[in-house]
Chain A
Amino acid sequence: MSSKKEYQYIGKSIYNVNAIAKATGRAKYCSDMQLAGMLYAKVKRSPYPHARIVSIDTSKAERLPGVKAVIIGDEKTCPARFGAGVADEYVLARGKVLYVGDPVAAVAAESEQIAEEAVDLIEVEYEDLPAIFDGEEAFKQNPPVVLHEDLKRYNTLRSVPPRLDENRPNVFNYFRIRRRDVENGFKEADLVFENRFETAMIHHVQMEPHCGVAMVDDSGRLVVWGTSSKPYGMHRDISESRNLPPSAVRVIIPTHVGGAFGGREPKAEQIAASLALGQKGYPKRPVRMWFTREEQLSTTTTRAHYIVDIKTGVRKDGTIVANKMRLLLVGGAYAGTGYLTARNAAFGPAANYKTDHFSLDAYGVYTNQRMAGAYRGFGNAESLWGMESQMDIIAEALKIDPLEFRLKNCTDEGDLNAFGEKMHSVGAKECLHAAAKLIEWGKKTKGSEPHLKRGKGIALGNKYSIVPTASAAIIKVHPDGMVELRTSTVEIGQGSSTIFSQMIAEEFKIPVSKVRVLNPDTDITPFDLGTASSRSTFNMGNAIIKASADAKRQLFELAAKELKANPDDLETADSKVFVKGSPDRSLHIKDLFIPMVIGGYTLKEGAEIIGKATYYLPGVIPDPETGHSERPASFYMFVAQAAEVEVDVQTGKIRVVKIVTANDCGKAINPMTVEGQQEGGVLSMGIGSTLLEEVITDNGVMLNPQFADYKIPTTLDCPTLENYKSAIIETAHREGPWGAKGVGEGTMVCSAPAIANAIYDAIGIRFHEIPITPEKVLRALKKI
Chain B
Amino acid sequence: MENLRLIINGEEVEALIDPATTLQQFLHNTLGMTGTKEGCGAGLCGCCTVMVDGKAVKSCLILALQVGGKSVQTIEGLAHEDVLDPVQSAFIENGAIQCGFCSPGMIMASKALLKENPHPVENDVRHALSGNLCRCTGYHKIVKAVLSVGERQ
Contacts and interface: CB of A to CB of B under 8 A. Distances in A.
B138 interface: yes
Contacts of A23: 84, 88, 91-92, 97, 100, 103, 107
Nearest to B126: A715
Interface in A1-52: 13, 15-16, 18-29, 31-32, 34
B79 interface: yes
A478 B137 CA distance: 35
B35 A493 contact: no
Contacts of B66: none
A720 B144 CA distance: 10
A718 B140 contact: yes
A721 B137 CA distance: 13
Contacts of A676: 95, 98, 136-137, 141
Interface in B81-108: 84, 88, 91-93, 95, 97-104, 107
Contact of A20 (B74, B92, B140): B92
A635 interface: no
Contacts of A25: 33-36, 74-76, 104
B140 A293 contact: no
Given A207-B99, A683-B139, A721-B122, A24 B37 contact: no
Contact of B135 (A261, A682, A708, A721): A261
A714 interface: yes
B22 to A, nearest CB: 13
B117 interface: no
Contacts of B75: 24-25
B41 interface: yes
Interface stretch (A252-260, A462-470, A610-618): A252-260
Contacts of B32: 34
Contacts of B74: 25
Contacts of B29: 34
B73 to A, nearest CB: 11
A708 B42 CA distance: 9
Nearest to B94: A672
A16 B144 contact: no
Contacts, number: 175
B45 interface: yes
Contacts of A205: 135
Interface residues of A, number: 58
Contact of B136 (A256, A259, A293, A714): A259
A747 B3 CA distance: 51
Contacts of B133: 207, 707, 712, 714
A423 B76 CA distance: 51
B97 A16 contact: yes
A681 B140 CA distance: 11
Nearest to B138: A683
Interface string A478-511: 0000000000000011110000000000000000
Interface in A716-758: 716, 718, 720-721, 724
B112 to A, nearest CB: 15
A208 B132 CA distance: 14
A706 B42 contact: yes
B135 A259 contact: yes
Contact of A207 (B39, B79, B140): B39
Contacts of A724: 138, 140
Given A23-B84, A209-B39, A493-B100, 14 more contacts: A204-B135, A207-B45, A207-B99, A257-B99, A493-B98, A676-B141, A685-B135, A707-B40, A712-B135, A715-B126, A715-B127, A716-B130, A718-B138, A718-B139
10 contacts: A23-B84, A24-B79, A205-B135, A207-B133, A259-B135, A675-B141, A684-B136, A706-B40, A715-B127, A715-B130
Interface of A: 13, 15-16, 18-29, 31-32, 34, 204-209, 256-259, 261, 292-293, 492-495, 672-673, 675-676, 679-685, 706-708, 712-716, 718, 720-721, 724
Query: What are the nearest 5 A-B pairs in CB distance?
Result: A25-B35, A683-B138, A493-B99, A22-B100, A258-B101
